[in-house]
A and B are shown apart, each in its own frame.
Chain A
Amino acid sequence: MANDFIRSLPQHERELHGRWLHAIHIDPVMLLLLSMVIGFGLVVLYSAVNRSEVLFQAQLVRIGLAFVALVIAAQLPPQIYMRWAPFVYLFGVFLLIMVLLFGVTVKGSQRWLDIPGIIRFQPSELMKIAAPMAVAWYFHGRPLPPSFKDVCVALAIVAVPAGAIIAQPDLGTGILVAGAGLAVVVLAGLPWRWMFYAALAFAAAAPGLWYTLQDYQRQRILTLFDPESDPLGAGWNIMQSTTAIGSGGVLGKGLLQGTQSHLDFLPEARTDFIIAVVGEELGLLGVLLLLVLYVLVIGRGLFMAASAQSTFGRLLSGALILTFFVYVFVNIAMVSGLLPVVGVPLPLVSYGGTSAITLMASFGILMAIRSHKAW
C-alpha cells in the first residue's frame, strides 16, 4: 500500500504543475525552494561584495551556470549514473593522487590541479558526488541491512578519497566527502548499535587523533574554547564573526549597514563567513528565515529520496541531501563559534562557483532519480 501511495505522487504533482517542467525532469517544488535560497543569498552577497558590480555580475554568471548544471544533471537517467559510478569514482581517486603529486599549492594547501591554459579545478569537489555514488552503487546489488563485510568495503570506498583530501590538507572538504559516504552507509541500514560502538571507539581514539592534526588545525580547535587567547591570530576570525552576529541583534543593522563587514573586521565576509553578514545586517530574523528555507530544501530532498524506486536511487539521493545538510550545519556552526574553523562555504549563498555548481548538479541528480520511472 505504501508503495502504491508513493508511486502515485509524481502523477499527482504532474497535474498540479505544468507539464513542461516535468518534461525536462525538473521538480518544481525543489526548484522554487532552491531559487528562494539563492535569491536570499544574492541579496546578502550584494552587500557583502560592497555593491561591487563586477563581483556581483560574476556571481550571477556562476549561478546561471549552476542552474544549467542542474538541468543537465536532471536529464541523465539514473542507470547512467549507476553504470558510470565506479569509473567516475576511480577517475576521481586518480585525480586526487595527481593533486598530491603535481598539484598547485595555494595558501599552504595543495588542492588545485592546473592544466595550464585549459582548466584549473579542485578534484575534491567531484568526490562530494562521486564518493556517495560509488557506495550506493556498491550496496545496490547487495542485501540490506548490509553485512559487516559490506560495511567495511563501503568504509574503505569512503576512506580512500577522504584521506587523500585531508592530506592536501583540506579538512573541511574531507569531512564533507566522508560525511556523504557515511550517510549512504547509515541510510543503507547500518545498525544503530554499531554506530554507537563506533562513536565510543572514536571518543577513545580522539587523543591519538589529536597528534595527527596539523598545528594550525589544533590551534583552531583550541581557539574554539578560548578565542581571546589569540585575538590577532586564529581567534580573530571567530571573535569578529561572533561580534558581527551578536551586534546585529534581532532586526539587524540593515542591509549595507554592517560595520564589521564593511570596515573589513570580518574576514572572508563574502565567502565562508557570509552567514555573519546575514546575522549582522538582517539580524536574527534574517538568520531564522534562511534556516527555515534550508530545512524546507532538506525536507523536500529527503522526501524525494524516500520516494525513489531503486536502492541506488534512494541511497544516492539521501546521501546527497544529507551532504547538503552537513555543509549547512558545519558552516553555520563554525561561523557562530560552535565548531572549529574549517574551509566550508555556506551552500548556495557564499561567493564562488565550484561549490554552487557541484551542489546544483547534485540536486539535478536528485530530480533525475525522482522523475525517471522505476528509479
Chain B
Amino acid sequence: MVGLSIKDPIREQQMFGSRTVVLFLGVLLLVGLLALRFVQLQVWEHETYVTRSDQNRIQVQPLAPPRGLIFDRHGELLADNRVTSNLTLVTERIDNLASTIERLGRLVSVTPADISDFETRLRRKRRPLEPVALRQALSEEEIAVLAVNRHRFRGVEITSEQIRNYPYGSLLAHAIGSVRRVTEEDLQRLDEVTYSATKFVGRRGVEKYYERSLHGDVGYQQVETDAHGRIRQVLDIQRPVAGQNISLHLDSRLQIAASAALGERRGSVVALDPRSGGVLAMVSNPGYDPNLFISGMSTEQFSELSHAVYKPLFNRAVNGQYAPGSTFKPIVGLAGIVEEVVTWDETVEDRGYFKLPGQQRIFRDWSWTRNNAGGQGTVDLRRAIYRSSNVFFYDLATRMPVERLVDFSAQFGFGEATSIDVADASRGLLPDPVWKRGYKGEIWYPGDSVNMSIGQGDMLVTPLQMATVAATIANRGRLVRPRMLLSSDAPLPEADPPPPWPEVVGPSADDWENMVDAMEDVIHRGNQGFRGNGTAWAYIGRDIAYRMAGKSGTAQVVEIPQGEEYNEEELAEFQRKHAWFIAFAPADKPLIALSVLVENGGGGSSVAAPVAREVMDAYLLPQLALR
C-alpha cells in the first residue's frame, strides 16, 4: 500500500503509452464511423439527396395571364390592368414581428385595419417563406422611403402585382361589374391549374359572365431560387396567354349622361338598342368604386358599403324587383285587343273609382279625390294610355280570365331572364292563380286581376325587363334578347347564345301602330286643356325635337287604406311610390329604348320622364343633327 502512494515514473510512462495506443485506436474507430456515415450519405443514398437538392433550388412557378381588356362600343377603355406595389413580410425570416410592423409604421402608414387584415391573411394556408402583404397599393413616395430603409429590415420586401383598374370608377360599376381577390372559397370552385397564379376573379357583371375568356391561360417558368425564394435564374419559361379583349355595346358617353340625369336619386336607367338588344347604358344608383375591392379595402370600409341603408352594392338595374305600375298598361291593353274583349273604339266612363259587382271595396284612379270626384271622363283605350286611366283597365281586367292576360304578357319576358350575357339577372314575377295557390295558399280573387291590370299586386319586374318591354313594343312585337357583348378578337366560349325569343303573337300591325300612337300621345299630346294632355307632356313634351313613345308608371309601395287620400308629404321616404318611365325613340324607327326607375321618387311622368328625356336627347340629338 505504501508503494502505491510513491510516484513511479517508469510505470507511469508505460501506462500512459498503452493508454495512448488504446485511445488512438478509439480515435480511428470513431473516424471510421464518420467515414462510414459519409459513404452512406454520398454513395448509398446519393440519388435521394440529389433529388432533394434539385427540389430545393428548382421550382416551377405559375405565371398569371394578363386579364383581357374591356372596351365600350367606341373603343373607350373601361377596364384595364396596372401594376401596383405591396409591402410584404416573410414572417419566417422576421424575429420580432410586432416590432418590425411598429418600425415600418413609422415610415409608411400602417393602420390597425391593415394589421388586422394582415393577420387574417397570415392565418390562411400558404407556402413556407411566401410573402404576406401588410400594405397594398404603395405610393411612389412610400416605395422610395422603404427602398432607402430596406437594409434595416430583414424579411421585408416590396412586391408588385398586376391588378384590375377601372378608369371610370363607380360610373360603370354595375354595368361591367368587378373582380375581387380570389378567396379560399373560390379556389374550391375554380380550376386549380388555371388559377394557380391568378389573384383576381370576376365577381359581378360582365367580369363574371366572361370570366373564362377574360382570364386567359396560365403560363409557367422553371426557376432556380435561393433559400429565401428569390429567383436567381430562369431555366425555362412558357409564357401565359393573355385573356381576350372584349368590346361592349355600352356607350360610356350615354352612361355618363344617364348617370347625370339620375343625379343623386336612387334608381336605375337601362337603355337598349332595340335592333340588336345591345345594352347602351346601365346605371344603378348609388354605385360604388370597384377599384376599392382590388387595391385593398379595409374590413370596415367593406362593411360600411355592404350595410349602407341605400345599398350601393346592389345592382338595381338587373336585381331590383318592383311593381311595374302603369308601365304595364300597354301590355294589358294589347291583351284585351288580342282577346277581343275590347276594341280601339270602345269607351268606358271613368269617374275616378271602380267597384267590382257586389263588392264595397273601391279601386281608385290616380286622379281620385275624397268625395269620389275626379276621373278621366269618357275613355277609349288610346285615351286610357295617354291619360293612364286606371278605371278603364280595371274594367278590362274583369272581361277576360287572368290566365289569358298572363299568357299574353309572358311573351314580353315577364318572369323570365331573357338576356344573353347579363350575369345573375333576376327574373321578376308574373303571378297567376297556380302560383298564388302554391306560394300564398290562397285562391285568385277577382280583385287580384283588377290590381294586376295596373301593374300592382304581386307582379314584379326589373328595370332591365322593362327596358326589354320598351324595346319589344318599339320593334312592334319582336323581343331581342339584351346583350352586353358587342365584339371580341376571337369567338368566345361563352358566346353560345340561347335561341331567339319568339315574336309576340296576337296583335296585328295596326294594333301595334295604334299602341305606339297612344304612347306617343303620352309625350306629345298637349294644349288640349284640363285632362286632355298626355301625362308626360307638361314635363317633357313641349319642346321635344323627335317623336318619342313612352308610358309612365307610379308604383305603389304601401297600400293606401280605403277612403284615405294619398298624401306624399306624410309618407316616410321608403314608403313613397316608385317612379317609372319606359320609352323609345324615334317612334317610327326606334334607335333607343329605355326604362327609368326612381326609387321612392313619386310620379312617373314628373320624376322619371325627364330623366328619360335627358338620356334620349344625349343619344339621339347628335345622331339627328348629323342627318
Contact = CB atoms under 8 A, between A and B. Distances in A.
Interface in A138-191: 141-145, 186-187, 189
Nearest to A258: B53
B30 interface: yes
9 contacts: A2-B13, A242-B41, A260-B53, A264-B226, A288-B38, A294-B31, A295-B28, A299-B24, A302-B20
A265 B56 contact: yes
Given A259-B57, A263-B226, A288-B38, A243 B12 contact: no
B92 A314 contact: no
A11 interface: no
A329 B38 contact: no
A41 interface: no
B227 interface: yes
A243 B24 contact: no
A243 B49 contact: yes
Contacts of B24: 298-299, 302
B48 interface: yes
Contacts of A240: 56
A2 B28 CA distance: 25
B623 to A, nearest CB: 66
B228 A264 contact: yes
Nearest to A187: B19
Given A143-B7, A189-B19, A247-B49, A325 B42 contact: no
A353 interface: no
Interface in A276-334: 279, 283-284, 287-288, 291, 294-295, 298-299, 302-303, 305-306, 311, 314, 318, 322, 325, 329, 332-333
A186 B50 contact: no
Nearest to B10: A3
Nearest to B7: A143
B98 interface: no
- B interface secondary structure, majority: helix
Interface in B13-59: 13-17, 19-20, 23-24, 27-28, 30-31, 33-35, 37-39, 41-43, 45-46, 48-50, 52-53, 56-57
A142 B20 CA distance: 20
Interface in B165-211: none
A291 B15 contact: no
Contact of A263 (B39, B48, B232): B232
A298 B37 CA distance: 20
B49 A245 contact: yes
B65 to A, nearest CB: 29
A156 to B, nearest CB: 21
B517 interface: no
B2 to A, nearest CB: 11
Contacts of A329: 30-31, 34
Interface residues of B, number: 47
By Cβ-Cβ distance, the 7 closest A-B pairs, closest first, are A246-B49, A247-B53, A264-B227, A263-B226, A246-B41, A284-B42, A247-B49
B38 A2 contact: no
A144 B27 contact: no
A284 B38 contact: yes
A337 B225 CA distance: 25
Contacts of B226: 263-265
Q: Please tell me the size bucket of the interface on A.
A: 35 or more
A43 to B, nearest CB: 18
Given A189-B16, A314-B13, 9 more contacts: A187-B16, A246-B48, A265-B226, A283-B42, A284-B39, A305-B20, A306-B17, A311-B9, A325-B30
B567 interface: no
A193 to B, nearest CB: 14
A249 interface: yes
Contacts of B558: none
B46 A311 contact: no
Nearest to A303: B20
B222 to A, nearest CB: 15
Contacts of B43: 249-250, 284
Contacts of A294: 31
A105 to B, nearest CB: 14
Contacts of A302: 20, 23-24, 27
B112 interface: no
A244 interface: yes
Contacts of B227: 263-265
B35 A291 contact: yes
Nearest to B28: A295
Given A299-B24, A329-B30, A336-B41, A232 B92 contact: yes
Nearest to B48: A246
Contact of B34 (A3, A232, A248, A336): A336
B224 interface: yes
A214 to B, nearest CB: 18
Given A242-B49, A295-B27, A298-B24, A250 B12 contact: no
A305 B552 CA distance: 114
Contacts of A58: none
Contacts of A55: none
Contacts of A306: 16-17, 20
A338 interface: yes
Given A265-B226, A295-B31, A302-B24, A244 B53 contact: yes
